[in-house]
Structure 1
Amino acid sequence: MILKSLLDARLPGDTALLASGREPLSYGQFSALAEDVFAALRRRGLSRNDKLAIVLPNGPDMAAAFVASACAVTAAPLNPAYREDEFRFYMDDLKAKALLVEEGSTSPAIAAAQRLGIPVLTLTPGPEAGAFNISGDAVAPPSVQGYAEEGDIALVLHTSGTTSRPKIVPLTHGNLLASANNIRNTLQLTEKDRCLNIMPLFHIHGLMAAVLATLTAGGSVFATPGFNALKFFAQVEEARPTWYTAVPTMHQAILSRAERNGEIIRANPLRFIRSSSASLPVPVFHALEEAFGCPVIEAYAMTENAHQMTSNQLPPGKRKPGFVGCAAGPMVAVMAPDGRILSAHEEGEVVTRGPNVTPGYENNPKANEAGFAFGWFHTGDQGFMDEDGYLKITGRLKEIINRGGEKIAPMEVDEVLMEHEAVAQVVTFAMPHDKLGEEVAAAVVLREGKTVTERELQDFANGRLAAFKVPKKIMILDEIPKGATGKLQRIGLAQKLGLA
């Protein structure tokens, strides 16, 4: 019952969750909710480490469902924007025992679950933010197992690689608690802090930094329906937060409206702003600090680390624009290909180890052998540390496309485009984007005698992929440039094709 202990450790009357149009949910009510969810899932035959796929809109119910369900089973949140085929793949890959959706949902996840024979459970919201009831048929005979324990899997998320199918990252209760405490300590969170959550809650960033770290400190989370730059300052005025965490593209959108909302900023001063999941441009760092009059804390994070690895520090500690900070919980080093730990200013692969790091990918010995060589987790990112131990990321060894914090596996897009009858060859790659950092592009060679337009291929992909994965640029070529060995290469392709 390790996650439930977070709720039980707080004063029962203190506020845990808030949302617009709902009554606040206290820690005492949250603990009672976790007990009710535990009983509801056990009655329906779900046991510890059984995976519950969760497809809910952003907001307090998703935040509460993650924490409450993880006390009993393994929470497996999925992006609500997925198409039916994507839901079918991910739920089948997870071997999900049940799917949880909100009452009245028309999500294609329901059809995908029905095709897989996965029972569907329904969440009905209550008057308090995050309060809900679960209804639905039994999955199996009632389970008599107790609450989940430290070594049980609390959360599973998929992470994408470029040369294989997406990998399943299991995170134990111990992993999550270690990471939540790391974030709490880094940000010096207390029961007086309130986080305005604008991050999606199917993603490790929102789940860990916004929700679980706050609950670990006994603070409160104001859960929004998702990020909307037009509503952000009204949400600040209503929630009166002490901080928020976001990806750089969100910060940039907020900045574009900061000047006209100066009165709200001054009336609701933030203690700090946190940025993670993609590199924060230095001009944006400075503009945020000037607009909000508070420190901006950039962190470096990854799903396999249950989010945070390094972070810049609150004053009087150092924060270095362009750097992602120093080790903030786990051990962090830069490694040579032969396993040597490198000295300051020597460039190599960033590696980590510690109690927050996943025990290993699920059912993937090959990925584990490579990803945990020499006793460290290998991030696939390239960088160096300065003399203060602050990390500078200089690139990625992997070919994952980082579109404003959304990670996209090029091979997944390749496979969809290859399904089109006119396509003979395709290579998906990253092209630079001034705001997102990277955007999805693809080079395509058509079958002889076939014709198709860029727009038609985009429409085809749009019916099979989430919108953020659909290439914004598709170049139809006679031949895709190859490397010296004759292999098709994603890295550098944007430059070769004049898109850089």
Structure 2
Amino acid sequence: MPNFASLIADHDAPDFAIGAPGRAWLSYGALRDQAGYVAGALHGFGIGRGDRVAIVLPNGPEMASAFVCVAQAAVTAPLNPGYKQDEYAFYLDDLKARALVVMEGYDGPALAAALGLGIAVIRLHVRPEHAAGAFTLALDGETLDGADTAAPGPDDVALILHTSGTTSRPKIVPLLHSNVVASARNIEASLALTAQDRCMNVMPLFHIHGLIAAVSATLAAGGQVWCAPGFDALKFFTWMEEAAPSWYTAVPTMHQAILSRAPRNAEAIAANPLRFLRSSSASLPPQVFAALVETFNAPVIEGYGMTEATHQMASNPLPPRVQKPGSVGVEAGPQVRIAHEAEPRLITGTGEIVISGPNVTPGYENNDKANADNFFTVDGQRWFRTGDQGQFDADGYLSLTGRLKEIINRGGEKISPLEIDEMLMDHPDVAQVVSFAVPHPKLGEEVGAAIVLSNPATTEADLKTFAETRVAAFKIPKHIVIMDEIPKGATGKMQRIGMAEKLGLTK
């Protein structure tokens, strides 16, 4: 399995690779030159193979290019630009970062954290005449010692990320060059990407979804990735007219925000037809799936991924095969099976989803317990426990019933929060919903739901009456909180775990 550099090695030099609003395109030849320049600069600073370089940059073409280029010389470690100083201090120390890349002129909390830890600071400079994604680097202070200038190989770490840490200390996930290449190729194949495809990226580029699905898979196919400066539903259709994409990928909450603006942008949609649109990182409600198909007159490809799998594990196939709303599709790269939730064995029916394949991380770093809990071997084959519960249908399509830690246990009755979400989304006045567990002194847990309404006249009683006609009594939400906006994580996903506490329902 080749290293990351192979993803951009064979494409024609003049062809476009990276674009952005109001910027000239960066060609594949220029991107390869940029990677060579970055390697030389890092080596000159005393940083090389195996050294961890944290990157804190705004979303956009420089972030995409920095990810691609740094990974070809060292280990790239993107961090959320929205963190506070204490968070940066934790992640930089936990990663054992050797350097931090920030924009020239940056004087924020990441810089303070790096200086406090004695970590080298590298400034990224962009000039108006530069094409999208082109930049130069300068080191603050003295050169470091001991750079390994050899090119990283397939078994070297290319990308390092943390798990979300929703219920425990975040775990370090190292992803090898072979993992990244395998996953990029898997997505390229699933989406039948070619050099004629152009992805408009609105996903944050400190997260596995945007880094692998939007950037790496696109470049693997020789296509173009047009990098928006983040997600903004108000600007989405203006960007669409400038970018002229053939596809985009987003999380469900982003798709819902786009749909809310779609009626007044029908001309932009008609003038820029999409080959398909993709959804991943959280379950897409079937109602939103149907609205997207109707609005864009294009297939919706729902994927299923996670950091430990270098993103994609399953994907709904392209036409003429069937896309099933409510399903995350068929296995799409790694082997996907169902395992017993407590024992190290594969089963049929409903259970924990497990995966095995060349895109799967070799294991969490410095965490023997997590590796013992999350990996097991059967007949010489190593399987990773995803923490998700699900089942396959007769056609081999996988459906999720929820995160095992998010399943609501009401007096022994197990309730899928996804089922409650989908039921409530059938109400014509419900725009968004996230269901979650609320502590109960006798039953253990009760069902709660946070809801955004399109009609403010609808009441909590109306919603409970609606639920009574759709689900058994024990599944009806006992706590309904009507909100203007549901709290979301840094990547746009609604967070079930901790929602009851955020809403003051744990007292």
Given the alignment, which residue of 178, 181, 190 partners 2:185? 181
1:103 aligns with 2:104: yes
**CA-CA distance at 1:46 after TM superposition:** 0.9
The residue that corresponds to 1:29 in the other structure is 30
What's the CA shift string for 1:181-236, capped at 9, x where partnerless? Answer: 00000000000000000000000000000000000000000001000000000000
Is the Cα–Cα contact under 8 Å of residues 162 and 400 in structure 1 kept in the other structure?
no
- Distance verdict in 2 for CA 1:431–1:214, change over 3 Å: farther
Of all paired residues, the percent bearing the same amino acid is 55
Q: Which runs of 5+ in 2 are unaligned?
A: 409-416, 422-445, 454-487
Between stretches 180-189 and 386-395, larger displacement belongs to 386-395
**CA-CA distance at 1:141 after TM superposition:** 2.3
Counterpart Cα distance in 2 of 1:124 and 1:491:
40
The residue that corresponds to 1:386 in the other structure is 393
Alignment of 1:70-469 (within 5 A): 70-126=71-127, 127-136=130-139, 137-141=141-145, 143-161=147-165, 164-336=168-340, 337-343=342-348, 346-374=349-377, 375-398=382-405, 432-434=449-451
C-alpha RMSD over aligned residues: 3.0
Counterpart Cα distance in 1 of 2:176 and 2:504:
44
Counterpart Cα distance in 2 of 1:42 and 1:205:
29
State the secondary structure of the residue aligned to 1:280: coil
Counterpart Cα distance in 1 of 2:146 and 2:351:
51
- Distance verdict in 2 for CA 1:150–1:468, change over 3 Å: closer
- Distance verdict in 2 for CA 1:145–1:435, change over 3 Å: farther
- Distance verdict in 2 for CA 1:377–1:145, change over 3 Å: same
Count of residues in correspondence between the two structures: 429
State the secondary structure of the residue aligned to 2:241: helix
Counterpart Cα distance in 1 of 2:15 and 2:117:
42
Between stretches 133-142 and 256-265, larger displacement belongs to 133-142
1:54 aligns with 2:55: yes
What's the CA shift string for 1:289-324, capped at 9, x where partnerless? Answer: 000000000010000000000000100112100001
**TM-score (normalizing by structure 1):** 0.81
The residue type equivalent to 1:360 in the other structure is: G
Q: Which runs of 5+ in 1 are unaligned?
A: 405-428, 437-465, 474-489
Is the Cα–Cα contact under 8 Å of residues 7 and 216 in structure 2 kept in the other structure?
no
Is the Cα–Cα contact under 8 Å of residues 42 and 142 in structure 1 kept in the other structure?
no
**CA-CA distance at 1:145 after TM superposition:** 2.0
Is the Cα–Cα contact under 8 Å of residues 56 and 101 in structure 1 kept in the other structure?
yes
**CA-CA distance at 1:342 after TM superposition:** 2.1
State the secondary structure of the residue aligned to 1:376: strand
What's the CA shift string for 1:38-82, capped at 9, x where partnerless? Answer: 001011111212110000000000000000000000000000000
The residue type equivalent to 1:152 in the other structure is: D
- Distance verdict in 2 for CA 1:432–1:223, change over 3 Å: same
What's the CA shift string for 1:229-259, capped at 9, x where partnerless? Answer: 0000000000000000000000000001111
Is the Cα–Cα contact under 8 Å of residues 6 and 215 in structure 1 kept in the other structure?
yes
The residue type equivalent to 1:132 in the other structure is: F
The residue type equivalent to 2:117 in the other structure is: L
Counterpart Cα distance in 2 of 1:59 and 1:468:
16
The residue that corresponds to 2:15 in the other structure is 14
The residue type equivalent to 2:370 in the other structure is: A
The residue that corresponds to 1:479 in the other structure is none
- Distance verdict in 2 for CA 1:259–1:112, change over 3 Å: same
- Distance verdict in 2 for CA 1:379–1:197, change over 3 Å: same
What's the CA shift string for 1:440-474, capped at 9, x where partnerless? Answer: xxxxxxxxxxxxxxxxxxxxxxxxxx9869xx99x
Counterpart Cα distance in 2 of 1:316 and 1:206:
26
What's the CA shift string for 1:98-152, capped at 9, x where partnerless? Answer: 0000111132100000111111100001410000001013452263522111111
Is the Cα–Cα contact under 8 Å of residues 3 and 173 in structure 1 kept in the other structure?
yes
Counterpart Cα distance in 1 of 2:243 and 2:61:
13
**CA-CA distance at 1:339 after TM superposition:** 2.8
Is the Cα–Cα contact under 8 Å of residues 183 and 308 in structure 1 kept in the other structure?
yes
Counterpart Cα distance in 1 of 2:79 and 2:403:
25
Counterpart Cα distance in 1 of 2:294 and 2:344:
42
Is the Cα–Cα contact under 8 Å of residues 163 and 307 in structure 2 kept in the other structure?
yes
- Distance verdict in 2 for CA 1:183–1:467, change over 3 Å: closer
The residue that corresponds to 2:433 in the other structure is none
State the secondary structure of the residue aligned to 1:189: coil
- Distance verdict in 2 for CA 1:432–1:72, change over 3 Å: farther
State the secondary structure of the residue aligned to 2:132: coil
Counterpart Cα distance in 2 of 1:167 and 1:69:
22
Is the Cα–Cα contact under 8 Å of residues 98 and 139 in structure 1 kept in the other structure?
no
The residue type equivalent to 2:449 in the other structure is: P
Counterpart Cα distance in 1 of 2:336 and 2:108:
40
Counterpart Cα distance in 2 of 1:78 and 1:273:
26
Counterpart Cα distance in 1 of 2:41 and 2:115:
21
- Distance verdict in 2 for CA 1:233–1:379, change over 3 Å: same
Counterpart Cα distance in 1 of 2:352 and 2:156:
30
- Distance verdict in 2 for CA 1:235–1:16, change over 3 Å: same
**CA-CA distance at 1:4 after TM superposition:** 1.9
- Distance verdict in 2 for CA 1:123–1:430, change over 3 Å: farther
The residue type equivalent to 2:47 in the other structure is: L
The residue type equivalent to 1:395 in the other structure is: G
The residue that corresponds to 1:44 in the other structure is 45
Moved segments of 4+, more than 4 Å:
399-402, 466-469, 490-494, 496-499
Counterpart Cα distance in 1 of 2:9 and 2:193:
18
Is the Cα–Cα contact under 8 Å of residues 47 and 148 in structure 2 kept in the other structure?
no
What's the CA shift string for 1:400-440, capped at 9, x where partnerless? Answer: 999x9xxxxxxxxxxxxxxxxxxxxxxxx99633469xxxx
**CA-CA distance at 1:179 after TM superposition:** 0.2
**CA-CA distance at 1:395 after TM superposition:** 1.4
- Distance verdict in 2 for CA 1:186–1:338, change over 3 Å: same
The residue type equivalent to 1:269 in the other structure is: P
Is the Cα–Cα contact under 8 Å of residues 59 and 224 in structure 1 kept in the other structure?
yes
State the secondary structure of the residue aligned to 1:373: strand
